[in-house]
Amino acid sequence: MVRWFRGLLKWIAILAVTALVVFGLLRSKYRLVIQDLAETQVKNTTSDLTNDAIAKQIAAGDIQYDRIVYFEKDLNGRITALKTNMSEVNRLKTDILNIINDEILALDTSDIGIPLGSLFLPELFSGKGPAIPVHILSIRNSDATFVSHFSEAGINQTLHQLTMDVSVDVAVLVLGRTSSFTINSEVVVAETVIIGDVPETFLQTGG
């Protein structure tokens, strides 16, 4: 019994030393690679969360083009200007950023962990194997800006898209080291097709 117990302790010690060696190897030799993979994982996940947050707002009817942008026309009915309701834009910005921040901080490490297969022989085992945990520590800054884009949509037709450029500063912990980076993503919030000439004036109104 004593011999069996000593053998068990020996194997536990060997496993512990092996784990420490692997941990040290990952931190030293693969540190930069792991940081890049962690950054990519968090960026991809955050982009998905941004799309989901906006999709929820659209499904709930909180995002409507004619509440964000409205047209100014002349006596002939020709559109002469587009006006953006900044009060509505600021409301959407606050609501969407709150959703994104809450969901990022609520992410489970299993959602953003780095599979060992993506580190060793990624050509064969990408996305497979036990995951190196990635912990999101904080979100220091988050901001969003709305940008208008015009493109041709047919004869005498113009597609107007309103996109939201989201910027989030994130700090993560992986293998005992902290790294910080900025995540940028662009999502189409609303769009419409304008019949006729493109307005030469684009105004922002409201607070």
Asked if residue 11 has pLDDT above 70, the reply is no
Q: Output 146 or 12, whichever has higher pLDDT.
A: 146
pLDDT tens digit sequence for 185-205: 888 888 887 776 655 555 555
* Helices (H), ranges, the chain: 2-29, 31-59, 65-68, 86-105, 109-112, 116-119, 122-125
Beta bridge partners of 171: 138, 180
Q: How confident is the model at residue 20 (pLDDT cuts 50, 70, 90)?
A: low
Residues 6+ apart with CB under 8 A from 188: 161, 162, 163, 164
The total of other beta-carbon atoms located within 10 Å of residue 59's CB is: 9
What is the 8-class DSSP label of residue 199? P
Residues 6+ apart with CB under 8 A from 39: 172, 179, 181
Cβ proximity of 149 and 198 under 8 Å: no
pLDDT tens digit sequence for 77-117: 777 777 788 888 888 888 888 888 888 888 776 677 777 77
Chain CA centroid to CA 104, Å: 8
What are the backbone dihedrals phi and psi of residue 19, each rounded to the nearest 5 degrees, phi first?
A: -65, -40
Task: Report how many helices (DSSP H) and strands (DSSP E) the chain contains, helices first.
Answer: 7, 8
Segment 124-144 shows an average pLDDT of 77
Q: Output 206 or 63, whichever has higher pLDDT.
A: 63
Q: What is the pTM of this model?
A: 0.65
